[in-house]
Amino acid sequence: MLRSYTADYNDGIDRGARARAEAAAKDEANITTVRSFFDAFARTQRSRLNLQGGLAAMEQIMLHVKLLSQFNQLKTLAAAKDTALLGFLRDSGYKTSRGLGWQSYIINFLANLIYISPSVL
């Protein structure tokens, strides 16, 4: 079971990422926009299990579009220096440094929280 949980899909995301995303989506310590992103991420990962037929493929596409929308919303908020998001990131130990802005930090935060590579995210 452990081997299955940590096995990677061909896109580099391990099978346990869904469970970690579901936990992050329910974690009240995360702000709403972050929880919404992880809910969309978990739904997308969950749908991978039932990819048979055209309707399932269409559902997968719709879930990916929703996930992308959630991701873009977080990046937009970071670029706009949204005080709630930036305060949350600061409280989580992130701060800007030379050459890295808040958009990079939101990507790193999301990836680190569910233990996947930022480049995969």
Cβ pair 109, 94 in contact under 8 A = yes
Identify the residue whose tokens are 């974690």: 27
Cβ pair 14, 5 in contact under 8 A = yes
Q: What number is the average pLDDT over the span 87-106?
A: 87
pLDDT in tens, 39-62: 999 999 888 766 677 787 888 899
- Structural domain contains residue 86: yes
Q: Residue ranges of the alpha helices (H) in the chain?
A: 2-6, 17-26, 32-47, 54-79, 83-91, 102-113
pLDDT in tens, 6-33: 445 555 688 789 999 999 999 999 999 9
Neighbours of 23 (CB within 10 A): 13
Domain count, the chain: 1
- Structural domain contains residue 36: yes
- Structural domain contains residue 118: no
Q: Which domain, by its residues, includes 85? A: 2-113
Tell me the pTM. 0.84
Q: What number is the average pLDDT over the span 81-105?
A: 89
